[in-house]
Amino acid sequence: MRSGGERNLRRKGTIDSFRYASEGILHCFRTQKHMRFHFAALVLALFLGLVEALDTRDMLVLLFCISLVIATEMVNTAVEALVDMVTPSYHPAAKLAKDVAAGAVLVASINAAVAGILILGGGMRIQAMRQHATRYVPDVTLVLVVGILIVALLVVTSKLMTGRSNAGLLRGGVVSGHSALGFFLAVTIIFAAGNWFISLLALLMALLIAQSRVEAGVHTLREVALGALVAIVVSSAVYWLAPYVRSKVAARTLTAVVLTASGTGADTRNPSTHADRTRH
């Protein structure tokens, strides 16, 4: 029979395992410039997915491919640290281990690039955007999940870039994460509800969340305002900018298709024009 101390040790070990894992991710973000590029690519890919009205399956494929790149980059960092610890001097086996780990990152990156090109730039995707421009109803759940992920990434990135420690990511910082998430959810309710009373309640709840962070001394008024600004920018991009860009791209594509079809039809109706082109 285990004593209470052993049970507490096991419980603390489980909690600490998540903390150690998060510290590893944050260390890679701080020290590896490629990791910061991968996170930026993740945000950009998610936004482009909303612009092109990807369904849940395609969005998950994009998320999996970029997550695979991030995971292999972390493994590459761990291999480099381990090799440097074991063999401070040059050794052919150490070089081979680092090269293989870097090759894994390259393979995952090529896979993500190919998947992104096929999903975001395929010919059928332009046709789908043209159809969605007139009768597309966004999946609020998908947009909400992607938006929350983008807000969380931006808030954590802002704290890391300003030198925030790992322990201080959940408390304080240049941008209030609670305020950002609160206002983003409020804008989501405003977008989905279509009722002024419900929208007013959602906005008041977001203001109460922001006020609670200031009264608790966790954030200043400026940090709470920055969190609200991040939420407003992201929500505007997700709910209004993405559909606007999608409609503009679809309209230009449709115009180009119509002009091409008109030119082809004119050549077909006027055989002399085709004959003149053939002679020239």
Reduced to 3 states (helix: H, G, I; strand: E, B; else coil), residue 23 is: helix
CA distance 97 to 212: 51
Question: DSSP label at 239?
Answer: I
CA distance 63 to 66: 5
Q: Comparing C-alpha atoms, which of 85, 78, 116 is closest to residue 100?
A: 78
Query: Distance between the two ends of the chain, CA-based, in angstroms?
Result: 96
CA distance 20 to 18: 5
Phi first, then psi: what are they for 94, rounded to 5°? -65, -40
**Radius of gyration for the alpha carbons in the chain, expressed in angstroms and rounded:** 26
Question: DSSP label at 176?
Answer: -
Which residues belong to the active site? 73
Q: Comparing C-alpha atoms, which of 244, 234, 227 is closest to residue 136?
A: 244
Q: Comparing C-alpha atoms, which of 148, 61, 75, 63 is closest to residue 105?
A: 75
Q: Comparing C-alpha atoms, which of 72, 68, 136 is closest to residue 103?
A: 72
